[in-house]
Amino acid sequence: MHHTPFFSAWRAQLAPSGSRTARVLADLRACTLCQLEARFGSCLPATLFPKAPEKQNSRDRLYTRWRTFWCLLWQSLNPQATGREVVRQLQALFQLEGGPSLSEEDGAYCRARARLPLSEFPKALAATAQAAGQHATPLNWLQGRPLKVVDGSTLTLPDTPKNRAAYPPVQASLPHFPMLRLVVLFSLGSGALLALAQGSLLQSELSLWGLLLNQLAKGEVVVGDRGFGNFVVVALLQTLGVDFLGRSLRRGDGRRRTRRLGKNDWLLVWKKGPCPSPWLTLAQWVGLPVELTVRVVRGRCHQKGFRVRQVTLVTTLVDPQRYPARELFEAYLRRWRLEMCLDDLKTTLQLEMRRSHSPEMAQKEVYARLIAHNLVRWTMAQAALQHGVALERISFKGTLDALRQFSHAMSQTRSSKKRRALWAELLRTLAADLVPARPGRREPRAVRRKKNKYPRLNLPRRHFQDHPKRAVRRTRARLRRLGLM
C-alpha cells in the first residue's frame, strides 16, 4: 500500500489507510473477552495453544486456539455464563473493532473448545501456580522448606453414555450419576493448585496420588490427611527425598517407642506388611525398605469448631531441634485452610457439578476452573504483598467479584496509564476489604436449609413416577377404609 509506482501522487492519501488497516487487524487478533490476556498474560507462556501446522486449527479462524482458551477462562471466572453469552460478547467486540460477523449460534465455539489440546492445560496450570507462588510471602516454618498439601475430592458429571463408560459407579445396580475423582496438590504458602490427577471412583486416591509423585522435588515436605499417612506412601516419599507430615490410621502407641524425644513426642518403627500394595508395581514394592523410623507427636487442639480435639501427627522430620512440635502442629492446622480452597472451587467457581457430555471435555473444564482459581490466587498474593496484609485475610469471593467489575472497566479504557491505575486501585481495594479476624470460628459441615423439597430423579424420566398429590392420597385412604381398594 505504501509503494504506488503507477499512482505516486496518491501515496500520501493511501499510506494512512494502510497503517490503520494493519492496526485494526492487530486489534482484532487480540480481541478477547474483557481483554483478560492483558491482565493475566504474564502468568502464562505465549507458546501455549500454538497454531497447528496441519489439519485441525491449521487455518486462520475466528475461534483460534488462543482466543478460545481465553473465552473458556472467562467462562470459568463467570460460572453462570453460557456459550451463547460468549458468542454475543464476541459479536459485540468484533462489531466495535470493525471485524467480520459471527454466527448467532454457539456451535462453532463449542467445537473450538473441543479441539483444544488437553496436553496444554497442565502446562497452563503449572505456570499459573508458579506465578502465584512468586508473589506469596514465604513461610518461616520447618526451616523454610517448601510445603505441599495433597487432598482428594469428587465431582458430578451429566448422565451420558460416554461419561458412564469412563466413570462407572462403584455399584452398577444403584442409580448413580457419573462421578469423577480428583487428587490435587496445593502449595501451602500461596494456596495455588500445582498439579491434578483425575480418575473414576474405581480408582483409589492413593493410585491417583502415585501419578503426582513426579511433581515433587527433593527437600520438599508433603502434608496430608490420614488417608495418606501409611507405610507405603511415607516410604515411597522417602525414596524420593521428600518428607511427610500428617495423621495416620495406625495407632501411635507410645509404649512401643524406640526413643523418647519429649513430652508426647517419640520415635516409632513401622514395618512393611506382608501383602504388596495394589497400586504399586512389584518392583516398586520390593524396592521399599523393610522398616521405617517415624516421629509421632501428640497434642491437643484448643480451637473451637475443629472436629478432632486430640491430634496425633506422624512425620519423617525426626529432629526435634530443627523441627519443633509447635511448628509441626502449625503447619498441619494450616492445611485446613486449603480445605476451604476446595470449597472455593466447588462452591464459588461452581466446580461441583459439571455440564460436559464427554469425559475429555469434562477434564478440560476442570483444568480451566483450576487455572482460574490460580489466577485469582495470584491477584490475592499481589494485593497482600504490595500492601503488607496477610494472604488468608483476603477474601477469595471478594477478589473474584472485584476482578469481574474492574476487568470490565479496564477493557473500556484505551490508555495504558489508566489501566495501570485501575489495577492498582483493585489491589488497594482488596487489601482494604479484609475478612474479619475470627480465630476459632466454627465451620461445621452442614447446610442451613435444604436446596428444594422435591425428590431426586434417580430413574430414567420415562420410568419415574411422581409422588401422588394430597387429594389423591386422601381419596385412596378413604377407599381403603371402605374396603373398595
Digit-coded pLDDT (tens) for 419-440: 889 999 999 999 998 988 776 6
**3-class DSSP state of 53:** coil
C-alpha cell at 283: 518392583
**3-class DSSP state of 254:** helix
Domain holding 61, by residue range, is: 15-115
Of 324, 348, 372, the residue that ends a domain is 348
Q: Are residues 251 and 108 in the same domain?
A: no
Of 348, 379, 404, the residue that ends a domain is 348
Concatenating the DSSP letter of every residue in 374-440 gives HHHHHHHHHHHHHHT--GGGB-HHHHHHHHHHHHHHHHH---HHHHHHHHHHHHHHHHHSBPP--TT
> How high is the pLDDT of residue 212?
92
Q: Look at residue 153 and tell me if it is in a domain.
A: yes
Say which residue, 457 or 264, is predicted with more confidence.
264
> How high is the pLDDT of residue 20?
45
Dihedral sign for Cα 249, 252, 257, 263, please: positive
Say which residue, 343 or 245, is predicted with more confidence.
245
Instruction: Give me the chain's average pLDDT, please.
Output: 83
E strand or H helix that includes residue 179: strand 179-187
> How high is the pLDDT of residue 372?
93
Of 65, 99, 115, the residue that ends a domain is 115
Q: Are residues 132 and 108 in the same domain?
A: no
Q: Are residues 74 and 212 in the same domain?
A: no
**For 265-285, what is each residue's pLDDT tens digit?**
888 888 888 888 888 888 888
Q: Are residues 133 and 182 in the same domain?
A: yes
> How high is the pLDDT of residue 361?
92
What span, in angstroms and rounded, lies between the C-alpha atoms of 62 and 117?
17
Q: Which amino acid is at 443?
A: E
> How high is the pLDDT of residue 182?
92
- Going by pLDDT thresholds of 50, 70 and 90, the confidence category of residue 174 is low
Q: Look at residue 78 and tell me if it is in a domain.
A: yes
- What counts of helices (H) and strands (E) characterise the chain? 15, 9
Q: Are residues 239 and 343 in the same domain?
A: yes
**For 304-325, what is each residue's pLDDT tens digit?**
555 556 788 899 998 889 999 8
What span, in angstroms and rounded, lies between the C-alpha atoms of 271 and 278?
17
Output the 3-class SS for 456-473.
CCCCCCCCCCCCCCHHHH
Task: Write down the H helix ranges in 210-324.
Answer: 231-239, 282-287
Residue 243 forms beta bridges with which residues?
Answer: 221
> How high is the pLDDT of residue 29?
45
Q: Look at residue 367 and tell me if it is in a domain.
A: no
What average pLDDT does this structure show over 373-382?
Answer: 93
Q: How many domains does the chain have?
A: 2
> How high is the pLDDT of residue 160?
87
**For 45-70, what is each residue's pLDDT tens digit?**
888 888 777 776 666 678 888 888 99
C-alpha cell at 345: 472451587
**For 86-127, what is each residue's pLDDT tens digit?**
888 888 888 877 777 888 888 888 898 998 999 999 999 999
- Going by pLDDT thresholds of 50, 70 and 90, the confidence category of residue 26 is very low
pTM: 0.84
Q: Look at residue 438 and tell me if it is in a domain.
A: no
Q: Are residues 168 and 303 in the same domain?
A: yes
> How high is the pLDDT of residue 28?
45
pLDDT above 90 as % of the chain: 23
> How high is the pLDDT of residue 197?
93
**3-class DSSP state of 180:** strand
190 touches 391 (CB < 8 A): yes
Q: Are residues 194 and 294 in the same domain?
A: yes
Q: Are residues 256 and 143 in the same domain?
A: yes
Residues 6+ apart with CB under 8 A from 125: 193, 194, 195, 196, 367, 370, 371, 374
192 touches 342 (CB < 8 A): no
Q: Look at residue 404 and tell me if it is in a domain.
A: no
Q: Look at residue 295 and tell me if it is in a domain.
A: yes
- Give the count of beta carbons closer than 10 Å to the beta carbon of residue 136: 21
Q: Are residues 91 and 125 in the same domain?
A: no
